[in-house]
Amino acid sequence: MTSTATRRVCVLGCDRATLELLSEWLSGSDIQVDEGAAPSCARAALVIVDVPYPRQGLGAVLDDLAAQAGSAPVLAVSATFHESVELRGEAARSLGVAGVLPKPLQREALLAAVKALVLPAARVS
């Protein structure tokens, strides 16, 4: 796949407004955003999961993703993450995901996270 190819990001558990915002922000970066369930994320380059209560973990959601989505990294987003949370810090490690971002999402932080996690060769601007 070349750097100009469209890549898929699968979004789980996000509300319609967040999904539309993700689509708008990432569409200019040759990234297609799809809403789905774990089985539909099988060929995604990245899976973004909205986690309302991260302290309760992701349990069954991550088990389903591991079984269905293969090796796609998972980016957890949550309104309960503090704004200073590190993308690949302790919160990500404790949840067993590739990265975490606080909501409300900031465009620059989202694009940097996508680039850092899975799309370093893609045109992410």
Domain boundary assignment for the chain:
7-117
Q: Is-contact 54 79, C-beta < 8 A?
A: no
Yes or no: domain 7-117 corresponds to CATH 3.20.20.120: no
CA distance 12 to 34: 9
**Which tens digits make up the pLDDT trace of 47-79?**
888 887 766 666 566 656 655 556 788 899 988
Task: Count other C-beta atoms under 10 Å from residue 72's C-beta.
Answer: 22
Q: Is-contact 22 110, C-beta < 8 A?
A: yes
**Which tens digits make up the pLDDT trace of 90-117?**
988 888 889 999 989 999 999 999 989 8
Q: Which helix (H) or strand (E) holds 93?
A: helix 90-95
CA geometry: angle 25, 26, 27, nearest 5 deg: 100
Strand partners for 32: 8
Question: What is the pTM for the complete model shown?
Answer: 0.81
